[in-house]
């Protein structure tokens, strides 16, 4: 089981103000593949069920030197809302204080967590830059073939040296045999000459001794020459290989010191799939001129023309498909506001539009819910009486009252009243023409007393024939069906 450094913290998703959360965590730039952030996402103290709520999560980290990384979080425990993120090796190189934030996507809505902070420290062994290390590796990889060839030459030379040693042993054996043979022959000659003459023995012995010495000296000289030649050849071959390697190492070192080696910093600085930002092209003053796809750290101060309507510091994402289709997404790095702008044709743009945030949607929902009518009473109240009909809430706590009723002129008719102006009474008044020829005209009026606030009574329900001038008190032509309040 691999060992990792894990920093755990809870992230409560709430609109309440939350200060910067210092994780009190320090990673080192050599904690490669072992620096792990783990967050428990909660709402009202309870973990979020990510898949059930259809929530996607991602993280944004900003280093002290301004370097950034944006990436998706890995789900560690779906039901408990636990997500984790291993800090990329390249981002670990940006030492200092790091500010981060977690984002939640749900059905095109965005939830932003509180900001948090931790520290990346420089380890003692980190004396060489990552670019120099990679260049050394690349350079020595290029030398591998040449060095292998030299090694093969050395091995061949050593193999030849073994042949030379075999030859020396063979020559030595031959010399020994020749010496032994000469000695035997000399002794035979001495014994033979001794029988002939004493003086000849001395001469012959001297001659034999001289021949033995000369033969031994010659054999030794031949052996030493062969051994010397073999040793020299092996030494020369080894020296050539070592000199070649030393020269190539010096060549690489000198090139790096002189700045002649071109390191591909684009791999570490610009967009590479891990979220690092590109620099805005020099001289750019118009946001709509940025056409190369990627991430950019950009400010309204440096690039003022065609900027989003609000905000100064942004993370800009450029998505370029063709020369006439391009879209821009600008994220305000302070408040998380997101603006979009799309190219609709050659030189034509849709204009910046702000995406509605989750908090703004919540406010709209609250207002919409507040504007919905609240039923205070429902039934069938008819006739003048002292009967009090209880309301579920005090009517004077609403801005407007709505009364649904029916009369001889129609059913489910509605009249509205400004409770703010007068909450003590509501008078229904209307006229109606009867008969097919409209020869009769009637005036209806019903008086509802709501001065008690939490109840109402019908205190008058009259009818007047406009044609005949006849009035009927307490005609009880109205039936109250429902009373509603609107905030």
**pLDDT, tens digit only, all 487 positions of the chain:** 789 999 999 999 988 888 888 999 999 999 999 999 999 999 998 999 999 999 999 999 999 999 999 999 999 999 999 999 999 999 999 999 999 999 999 988 999 999 999 999 998 876 556 566 566 556 656 666 776 777 677 677 667 765 665 776 777 688 778 767 876 876 777 677 557 756 664 665 577 567 656 765 775 677 577 557 756 775 676 577 557 657 765 775 676 566 554 444 443 344 444 456 789 999 999 999 999 999 999 999 999 999 999 999 999 999 998 888 999 999 999 998 999 999 988 889 999 999 988 888 888 777 777 678 999 999 999 999 999 999 999 999 999 999 999 998 788 899 998 987 888 899 998 888 876 677 788 899 999 999 999 999 999 999 999 888 999 999 999 999 999 998 8
| Same domain, yes or no: 99 and 180 | no
Of 121, 138, 167, the residue at which a domain comes to its end is 121
| Same domain, yes or no: 249 and 192 | yes
| Same domain, yes or no: 399 and 481 | yes
Asked if residue 11 is part of any domain, the answer here is yes
| Same domain, yes or no: 101 and 9 | yes
Asked if residue 405 is part of any domain, the answer here is yes
Evaluate whether 467 touches 440 at the Cβ level (below 8 Å).
yes
Instruction: Tell me the residue range of the domain where 295 lies.
Output: 277-354
Classify 476 in phi/psi space as left (phi over 0), alpha (psi -120 to 50) or beta: left
321-324 LR contacts (CB < 8 Å, sep 24+): none
Distant-in-sequence, close-in-space partners of 82: CB < 8 Å, separation ≥ 6: 38, 39, 40, 41, 47, 75, 76
Q: Which candidate, 426, 390, 20, 386, places its Cα nearest to that of 9?
A: 20
| Same domain, yes or no: 334 and 233 | no
Amino acid 262: pLDDT:
44
Asked if residue 14 is part of any domain, the answer here is yes
Asked if residue 268 is part of any domain, the answer here is no
| Same domain, yes or no: 344 and 414 | no
Of 354, 385, 410, the residue at which a domain comes to its end is 354
Give CA–CA dist 84/107, Å, rounded: 22
Strand 21-28 with 116-121, pairing = parallel
Q: Which candidate, 262, 299, 259, places its Cα nearest to that of 279?
A: 299
Q: Say how many residues make up the chain.
A: 487
| Same domain, yes or no: 246 and 307 | no
| Same domain, yes or no: 300 and 346 | yes
| Same domain, yes or no: 383 and 479 | yes
Asked if residue 267 is part of any domain, the answer here is no
- The structural domain count of the chain equals 4
Of 88, 121, 154, the residue at which a domain comes to its end is 121
172-180 LR contacts (CB < 8 Å, sep 24+): 172/219, 172/223, 174/219, 175/215, 175/216, 175/219, 175/220, 175/222, 175/223, 176/219, 178/215, 178/219, 179/212, 179/215, 179/216, 179/219
Asked if residue 430 is part of any domain, the answer here is yes
Secondary structure class of 334 (helix, strand, coil):
coil
Residue 480 CA: distances (Å) to CA of 194, 384, 442, 458:
168, 11, 19, 9
| Same domain, yes or no: 294 and 312 | yes
| Same domain, yes or no: 152 and 202 | yes
Asked if residue 316 is part of any domain, the answer here is yes
Half-sphere exposure of 344 (CA within 13 A, CB side): 7
Amino acid 38: pLDDT:
96
Token pair in block for residue 159 = 């193999």
Asked if residue 414 is part of any domain, the answer here is yes
Amino acid 342: pLDDT:
95
Give the CATH number of the domain where residue 77 resides.
Answer: 2.60.40.3350
| Same domain, yes or no: 247 and 283 | no
């Amino acid at each position: 089981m691999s060992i990792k450094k894990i920093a755990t913290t809870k992230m409560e998703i709430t609109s309440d103000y939350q200060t910067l959360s210092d994780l009190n965590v320090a990673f080192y730039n050599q904690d490669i593949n072992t620096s792990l952030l783990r967050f428990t996402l909660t709402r009202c103290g309870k973990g979020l069920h990510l898949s059930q709520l259809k929530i996607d999560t991602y993280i944004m980290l900003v280093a002290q030197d301004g370097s950034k990384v944006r990436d998706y979080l890995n789900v560690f425990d779906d039901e408990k809302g636990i997500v984790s993120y291993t800090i990329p090796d390249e981002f670990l190189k940006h030492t200092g204080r790091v500010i981060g934030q977690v984002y939640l996507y749900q059905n095109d809505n965005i939830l932003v967590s509180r900001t948090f902070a931790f520290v990346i420290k420089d380890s003692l062994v980190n004396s060489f830059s990552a670019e120099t290390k990679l260049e050394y590796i690349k350079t020595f990889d290029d030398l591998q073939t040449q060095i292998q060839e030299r090694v093969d030459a050395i091995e061949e030379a050593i193999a030849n040296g073994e042949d030379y040693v075999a030859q020396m042993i063979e020559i030595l054996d031959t010399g020994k045999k020749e010496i032994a043979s000469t000695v035997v022959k000399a002794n035979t000659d001495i014994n033979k000459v001794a029988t002939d003459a004493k003086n000849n023995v001395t001469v012959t012995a001297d001659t034999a001794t001289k021949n033995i010495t000369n033969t031994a000296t010659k054999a030794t000289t031949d052996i030493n020459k062969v051994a010397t030649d073999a040793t020299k050849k092996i030494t020369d071959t080894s020296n050539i290989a070592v000199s070649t390697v030393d020269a190539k190492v010096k060549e690489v070192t000198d090139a790096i010191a002189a700045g002649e080696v071109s390191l591909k910093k684009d791999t570490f600085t610009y967009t590479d799939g891990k979220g690092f930002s590109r620099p805005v092209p020099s001289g750019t003053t118009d946001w709509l001129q940025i056409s190369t796809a990627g991430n950019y750290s950009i400010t309204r101060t440096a690039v003022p023309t065609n900027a989003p309507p609000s905000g100064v510091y942004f993370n800009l994402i450029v998505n370029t498909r063709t020369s006439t289709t391009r879209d821009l997404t600008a994220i305000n790095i302070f408040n998380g506001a997101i603006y979009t702008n799309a190219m609709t044709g050659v030189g034509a743009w849709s204009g910046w539009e702000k995406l509605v945030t989750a908090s703004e949607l919540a406010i709209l929902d609250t207002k919409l819910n507040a504007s919905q009518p609240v039923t205070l009473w429902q039934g069938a109240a008819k006739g003048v009486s002292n009967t009090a009909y209880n309301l579920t809430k005090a009517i004077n706590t609403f801005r407007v009252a709505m009364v649904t009723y029916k009369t001889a002129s129609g059913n489910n008719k509605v009249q509205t009243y400004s409770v703010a102006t007068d909450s003590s009474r509501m008078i229904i008044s209307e006229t109606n023409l009867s008969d097919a020829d409209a020869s009769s005209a009637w005036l209806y009026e019903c008086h509802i007393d709501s001065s008690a606030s939490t109840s109402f009574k019908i205190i008058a329900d009259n009818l007047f024939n406009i044609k005949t001038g006849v009035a009927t008190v307490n005609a009880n032509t109205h039936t109250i069906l429902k009373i509603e309040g609107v905030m």
